[in-house]
Structure 1
Amino acid sequence: MAPSAAPPSRPDPLRIRDAGAAECDALSALCLRSKAHWGYDAAFVKACAPYLRVTPDRATAGCSFVALDHLDRILGVAQIAPGETLHGSLDLLFIEPEAIGTGAGRVLFQEAAHRLREAGDSVMTILSDPDARGFYEKMGAVFIEDRPSDVFEGRKLPWLEYPL
């Protein structure tokens, strides 16, 4: 039996910092690389691109943030939208493909929950890629229902909620 590949090492310590407005294009490209990593073809990723954008207004509002390793390399990005009805949303959470498994996703998820809680929200909503549903459930989010995709007719996406 061939040995299994070793999991990625966890670059300790992971840190969080706010994304800068000047980084938005590079961080949006990170989102697309991460999406493509899961086997989606170029046409699919291109169609998703307008929805997987880190935006300057969210960055300057402190709603876009990155996970950094001990060498200050960006491992992943998240973007939130605090709600007006106590339900904020996790709009983006993407990890560089080579950093998947390092804990960066967990750290970004926890930071998103913390920031939404601090903004006064009591629930974090998540419209997830079907392949990411398991990660969010492992983090404690609860599946609510499948909802139609804004991008692809007939595609369903899991809607989850995480109590804050």
Structure 2
Amino acid sequence: MTIQKAIPSDHEILTQITKKSKAYWGYSNEQIEIWAQFLTVSKEYIETNPVYNLVAEDQIVGYYSFFHESENTIKLDNLFVLPEFIGKGFGKVLMNDFLLRIQDQNVQKIVLNSESNAEIFYAKFGFIKVGQIETSIKDRYLPVMELRIN
């Protein structure tokens, strides 16, 4: 298992991973298509943001991406794993790599918008819920979480 910097030609597989991972939580194909613009990873996105792939068994099985929201705040924008790898420690590998990668960047805070079903995963790394944002589904909210770095 290795973690590699994504290249623009990875955009299609990363989009597939994102959609399949999101669908894992019980969302319909119709809902996934409604969200398609938010779940699509473009070549341009990979060219302008740090994106890292998790490769296992000679295939990309997950990835994460982030960007600087401000000088001292990083937003973890994506962290997705193919459904067959969920619950097997692959997300933890990605999160640990992300936290190591940003440790020398003078960051005071990491923020993210969590999938409701993944809130417990992020809490295990010390993230706390600080708010929520409404989604396109009635009465559905995404937890806004943050981790303060000392």
Give the TM-score category using the shorter length. Answer: 0.7 to 0.9
Identity %: 26
How large is the Cα RMSD of the aligned pairs?
1.8
Q: Decide which structure has greater strand share.
A: 2
Is the aligned partner of 1:48 residue 2:29? no
User: Which amino acid letter does the alignment assign opposite residue 42 of structure 2?
Assistant: T
Residue 101 of structure 2, aligned match among 115, 130, 137: 115
Which of structure 1's runs of 4+ aligned residues deviate more than 6 A?
none
TM-score, normalised relative to structure 1:
0.81
Q: What CA deviation, in whole Å up to 9, does each residue of 1:24-48 have, x standing for no partner? A: 1221111001111111111211122
Gapped regions of structure 2 (runs ≥ 5): none
SS, match of residue 30 in structure 2:
helix
Is the aligned partner of 1:26 residue 2:13? yes
TM-score, normalised relative to structure 2:
0.88
Contact 1:125–1:161 (8 Å) recurs in 2: yes
Aligned length: 149
**Structure whose CA Rg is larger:** 1
Mean alpha-carbon deviation: is it higher for 128-137 or for 82-91?
A: 82-91
Q: After the TM superposition, which residues 75-114 of structure 1 pair with which residues of structure 2 at under 5 Å, given as runs? A: 75-114=61-100
Contact 1:58–1:79 (8 Å) recurs in 2: no
User: Which amino acid letter does the alignment assign opposite residue 161 of structure 1?
Assistant: E
Q: What CA deviation, in whole Å up to 9, does each residue of 1:23-73 have, x standing for no partner? A: 11221111001111111111211122211232323423461111112x332
Report the Cα offset of residue 93 of structure 1: 0.8
Q: Cα gap change, 1:119/1:83 in structure 2, threshold over 3 Å: closer, same or farther? A: farther
SS, match of residue 111 in structure 1:
helix
Q: State how far apart, in whole Å, the 1-side matches of 2:44 and 2:98 are.
A: 17
Report the Cα offset of residue 154 of structure 1: 4.2
